[in-house]
Amino acid sequence: MKLEDLQVYQISMELADEVHALVMQWDNFYRFSTGQQLLEAADSISANISEGFGRFYYKDHKNFLYFSRGSLFETKTWLTKADRRKLIDEETFQTLMKSYDTLGIKLNNYINSIGPKGN
């Protein structure tokens, strides 16, 4: 299997592209403050999935997936801040949060599939 075949990787890449397009619409102050933090967190999800995928030992692989999950929660926090600061409309906020919730479920399932049972 190739990295690009992983559904969690594909979804995380697509969502990061959506976040990027959104942030690029903001004025400079918000793009370089809230936007930079949001985009770095969103990009980190797929980056950690790929780094873990390249690890030889399943425990290393899982650790990077845990980092990815942490970045997912950070992304949701920055989206919440963007919503509270009126940088995104309510529909966009709800759609993205639902997408990240779904990704979180898939990421947890992927984490649970790595390595021997009980580890």
Any domain includes 118: no
Reported as a single tens digit per residue, the pLDDT across 55-70 is 989 999 999 999 999 9
Q: Using DSSP, state whether 11 is helix, strand or coil.
A: helix
CA–CA separation, 38 vs 16, rounded Å?
9
Res 119 pLDDT > 60: no
What per-residue confidence (pLDDT) applies to 86?
A: 97
Looking up residue 25, the CATH number of its domain turns out to be: 1.20.1440.60
Domain range for 105 is 3-113
Any domain includes 57: yes
Give the pLDDT band of residue 3 (cuts 50, 70, 90). Answer: very high
Any domain includes 9: yes
Any domain includes 37: yes
What per-residue confidence (pLDDT) applies to 39?
A: 98
Contact 88, 19 (CB under 8 A): no
Reported as a single tens digit per residue, the pLDDT across 72-93 is 999 999 999 999 999 999 999 9
For tokens 């980092």, what's the residue? 67
Reported as a single tens digit per residue, the pLDDT across 6-30 is 999 999 999 999 999 999 999 999 9
Calculate mean pLDDT across residues 32-52. 97
| CA distances to 35, 87, 103, 116 from 106, in Å | 25, 28, 5, 19
116 or 10: which carries more pLDDT confidence? 10
- Say which DSSP state 3 is in: G
Which of 2, 35, 7, 10 lies closest to 20, judged by CA? 35
What per-residue confidence (pLDDT) applies to 36?
A: 98
Any domain includes 65: yes
Any domain includes 13: yes
Res 118 pLDDT > 70: no
